[in-house]
Structure formats: structure tokens, C-alpha cells
Amino acid sequence: MAREQIKLRFFRSWKCSITNTFRICYARYSTADTKKILSEIPGLTSLPIIGPLHHFLPIIGTIGPTGNFHQMVGLMHKKFGPVVKFEVFSRSTMVMLFEPEHFDKVFRAEETNPSRPGFETLDYYRSELRKNKFNGVYGLTTAQGAKWRDFRTKVNPALLMPKLIKLYTPLISEVVQDMVKRIDKLKADSDYIHSHFNEEITKFSLEAVALVGLGSRLGCLEDNLPNDHPSRQLMQSSKDILNLAFKLEFLPHPWKYIPTLTFKKIIKVFDLQWSISEKYIEEAKKRINERGYNVPEEEKSIIERLLAVDQTVAIMMANEMLLAGIDTVAFSIISILYHLAKNPEKQQKLREELNSTESKRSYLKACIKEALRIWAVIPGNLRRTTKEHHVGGYIIPVGVDVVAPNQYLSNLDKHYVRAKEFIPERWIVDKTDPLYYGNTHPMVTSPFGFGIRSCIGRRLAELEIELFIAQFIQHFEVSWDGPPIKVVTTVSNNFSKPFNFRFKSLS
Ligand code: HEM
């Protein structure tokens, strides 16, 4: 990293802290009421260099050693109450709000300009380190303000119109059929399923998102996929990015000042992920040019629709689909299969609906919502404040990351009757039933985020998941032997092996 860049970043962070000090003083002396300021919010304070790590030490730490984010959130709630501060060395101060009315108020007030800091390392990579390549187009995951709004306005119709997304049903069904055949073959080798099931499902999600996004099969489901196959590298890159970003951005790390080994590693992975997706995108563009644009709507891939709007936006969106659309869908599918395996009577009820003439498939949709309630891919939602907020007796200034701990709240009996149990019925029973989901604040569970900045891939993800679960449950009886599945939380939730699934063919 050039010295000038390091100096510039140091100056920026210094300028930021001076500005915040002024804001805090202003807030303290200008408000007539008795609201408390940011520094008075209880929570995890930060020390120089080690950040909040001392809180996690055995015996003397206020939280104690816990490797689990979900558990840590619970401990902080019990210890500090409904408004909790959390300072991480290299990030803005975070304030976690445990009352849905509180984060509802902040998120709604931020809807005019929703800012969600994505990966700061990716942001730095696109906006500074490789700025000549990206030329001011940063994609949805890292852009903010007017740049984000302009990009999002261009891509919304192609990705969020239910009618357009539904056109991909035959293509995705074709990939699901191949996956069913593959599991039929692999299930004889239970050792392989135990240790590689997540990899297999990730191959499905990559194959499906690439087919819809770029209009061609990558071949991920072929037998004996070579280790250096670009699709394998894409899958590995998206995992590496999540793991390395967690180390750099959520644990104490000086990457903003010193280009450490981990920082150099993530830059290498960003380069690799970009070059592989660029190769696939170039191939897609070539195919489209050779074939011409005058083809029926149902045959157009998403990149084809977007190329007609804006070439640069189309390329960046295709790249982000290959980054954000793989592990998210795979995690959700495994979670739903696991809950159905552990609840055989619910699985049978679902199978009956799927084998009936009922076309609405409301129980299928309820099973998906229920699994995403218990384990969301991303355990909380976040907005960086662009204005001052008054909530829970505190003044939250500009530039603070306000976190809604949705997954933690969704698993509390305070919000859902028998919250830890998998009960899809809660999403379909009527108002008079105590299980009725509508008795809960609507912001408690939001696996796809909130408002105009919510997940752009939601419709596509839902279609992929519905088609996958429907065909799988019709074809296999799924069971689970052994101890509960392990969930590891970093930036997002992941499952770790062993995968004790058993699949019995029904046809
Ligand atoms: C079950 C699967 C998925 C889940 C649970 C999920 C969840 C989320 C969440 C919680 C957010 C943040 C929203 C917010 O801040 O309000 C998000 C954003 C995003 N997701 Fe997804 N996602 C999924 C699948 C996908 C897929 C398949 C794609 C690609 C096609 C995708 C692309 C994105 C992008 C690009 C953003 C940033 C949107 C923006 O800032 O405007 N996601 N997702």
C-alpha cells in the first residue's frame, strides 16, 4: 500500500473522531431533555490495540470466553439491557438495539438514504486499490448514497419483478433434477455425504445462480470436477472472503495502517474472484452478441436484461450474484432439510401437500420461513446512521452502526410461542390461534433485510429454494442420525461437518 494512502486513511479516521467529538458535545449541550449520549450507553468498551478482547477473557472478562456470536449477543443483552454498545478496533462504534420498536424507528428514519457498510476491505479494494479498473462503479454490496441508489434503480426490475423471475422455473428445475440424480448416486457413500454435503449443495446454488444470471451451465455437478476447475475456485473464493473479512474487520486488526499478510491474502482472493467471474461474464457477452438480442423474454438471462440498460452495471451485478448468491442459498437449503429431517411428521405433511393437486404450496412456503426464522443466513441487520436518532433514552449520533439482532430475538419465547421449536404452522394459522406469527412485531424476523435496501436476490433465492425442497422431499425421505448440526457464526452463519443426513429414495 502506498505511504500516501496510509497517511490519507489515518488523516480520515482522525478527522472522523474529531468530528464525532464535536457532535457528541453539541448533542450534550444542545438538547433540552435528559437523553444520554453515546459514551453513556453500557456495553463492551475497547482498549487500544486489543479492542474489546479483554471482555472475553476467562474469570476477569465481563462476558467470558465464548466463540459463538449468538451466545455472546444473549450474554450482552442479559448483562447490559436493551441498548448495548460494542466497539471493535477497526470499525465504527456499534449499538445493538434489542427492542424491535427501537430499531424499527431508526431503520425507517434511515430509509431516505439507507447506508449499510458492506465489507470495508472490498470497498477499499474497489474504490482505491483497483480504482482504475472499477472506475467509480462499486456494486450494491459496497456503494452508498447516490451511487447505490442509481445502481439499485437500474437492477431492481430485472431481479425483483416476480413475473420475470418466475420465467426461470424450468431452468432451475433442470439443475434441481441433476442434483437429485447426483445425491441418488452419492448417498451410497455415506462418508462422503457426512463430510462434503455442504460442498454439494453449494455446487447446486452456484450452478443455478450462474444459469439464471449468465445463461449457461458451469458444469459444477459433473462427476470428478477437477480441483482447479474455475467453479471450485469461485466457491472457495466466496468462503475465503467471508472468513478473511471477519478476521480483518470484526477482530482487532491493523489493516487500515499496515498491509498485513491476512490483508494481502484477501486482496489476492478479491483479484481471483473478479478474474474468474470476468471470464464467465465475457463468455456470456460473446454468446449474446453472436445470438443477437431479439429472443423471447423467457430465454434471456439476467445479464442479458441488464446489458440492455447499462454495460458496467450489468458486469458488476453479475459479479455480485456469483459472490452473494452462493453460500446464502446453500445455507438456507441445508437448514430447511435439517429441520424437516428432525421433524418427520412435518416432512410427511409437506410431502402430502407436494403430492396433492394444491397449487398454492403454502406449507412449503411456511417451512422455508420457519427455518429462516430459527437460523437466518445473516444473524442481524445493520444500518450506519446518516442522521441523529433518539431511542431508548439515548442520543445516537451520525456514523454509528445500529444493529438489529434479529436471529437472537426470533428465538426468544417473548416474541414467538415455543420459539425454539420448528413449527411451520405458525405462518399459516389464523389470528385466533396463539401461534399466529402476526402477534409478533414484524421487524423481529427479517432474513432478507429491510426496506429499499433489502436483499436484491430475494425472489431468485426463494424460487431456487422452493424448487429444490419440493423436488427433494418428493424424491427422498430425509433423516438425521446423531448429535445436532453445528452452526458457526462469523459475518454469516455456516454449518460445519459432520452432516449426518440419510436419504432414502421414495421412487
Ligand atoms: C436465502 C438466501 C439469501 C438471504 C437470506 C439473503 C440475505 C440478505 C440480507 C439480510 C441482505 C442485507 C439487506 C439489508 O441490509 O436490508 C442482503 C443483501 C444483498 N443480497 Fe442477499 N440473501 C440471499 C440470497 C441472495 C442472492 C441469491 C443474491 C444474488 C442474486 C443476493 C444478493 C444480495 C445483494 C447484491 C445484496 C446487497 C443489496 C443492497 O445493498 O442493495 N442475495 N441479502
pLDDT tens digits, 234-249: 999 999 999 999 888 8
Q: 458: CA distance to ligand 1 center in Å?
A: 7
pTM score, two decimals? 0.91
Q: What is the pLDDT of residue 96?
A: 96
State the Cα–Cα distance between residues 507 and 183, nearest whole angstrom: 14
Q: What is the pLDDT of residue 17?
A: 47
* More confident position, 64 or 153: 153
Residue type, 474: Q
Domains of the chain: 3-117 (no CATH), 139-378+447-505 (1.10.630.10)
| Residue whose CB lies within 8 A of the most ligand 1 atoms, among 372, 455, 469, 493, for a mutation test | 455
Q: 117: CA distance to ligand 1 center in Å?
A: 14
Q: 141: CA distance to ligand 1 center in Å?
A: 9
How many degrees, rounded to 5, is the angle at CA 372 between CA 436 and CA 152? 110
Q: If we measure between CA atoms, which residue out of 317, 274, 287, 282 comes closest to residue 158?
A: 317
Does 24 have pLDDT greater than 60?
A: no
Q: 376: CA distance to ligand 1 center in Å?
A: 12
Ligand 1 atom closest to 152 (CA): 41
Mean pLDDT over residues 216-221, rounded? 94
Site of grid cell 436484491: 456
Q: 328: CA distance to ligand 1 center in Å?
A: 8
The CB of 107 under 6 Å from ligand 1? The reply is no
Q: Whose CA is nearest to atom 6 of ligand 1?
A: 448
Ligand 1 atom closest to 143 (CA): 40
pLDDT tens digits, 377-397: 999 999 999 999 999 999 999
> Are 327 and 202 contacting, i.e. CB atoms less than 8 angstroms apart?
yes
**How far apart are the two ends of the chain, measured CA to CA in Å?**
59
pLDDT band for position 31 (cuts 50, 70, 90)? very low
Ligand 1 atom closest to 205 (CA): 27
Q: Which of 78-82, 114-118, 190-194 has the highest mean pLDDT?
A: 78-82
Q: 461: CA distance to ligand 1 center in Å?
A: 9
The answer to the question of whether 25 is labelled as a binding residue is no
The CB of 449 under 6 Å from ligand 1? The reply is yes
Mean pLDDT over residues 55-63, rounded? 60
- Compute how many other C-beta atoms are within 10 angstroms of the C-beta atom of residue 468: 26
The CB of 377 under 6 Å from ligand 1? The reply is yes
- Compute how many other C-beta atoms are within 10 angstroms of the C-beta atom of residue 284: 23
Number of H helices, E strands in the chain: 19, 11
Q: 491: CA distance to ligand 1 center in Å?
A: 13
- Compute how many other C-beta atoms are within 10 angstroms of the C-beta atom of residue 32: 5
Cα separations in angstroms, 46 against 328, 371, 384: 31, 35, 19
Q: 346: CA distance to ligand 1 center in Å?
A: 28
pLDDT tens digits, 160-209: 999 999 999 999 999 999 999 999 999 888 888 999 999 999 999 999 99
How is residue 141 written as a grid cell?
454490496
How is residue 479 written as a grid cell?
433423516
Mean pLDDT over residues 237-265, rounded? 89
The CB of 334 under 6 Å from ligand 1? The reply is no
Ligand 1 atom closest to 449 (CA): 16
Q: What is the pLDDT of residue 27?
A: 44
The CB of 464 under 6 Å from ligand 1? The reply is no
Q: Whose CA is nearest to atom 42 of ligand 1?
A: 457
> Are 90 and 256 contacting, i.e. CB atoms less than 8 angstroms apart?
yes
The CB of 450 under 6 Å from ligand 1? The reply is yes
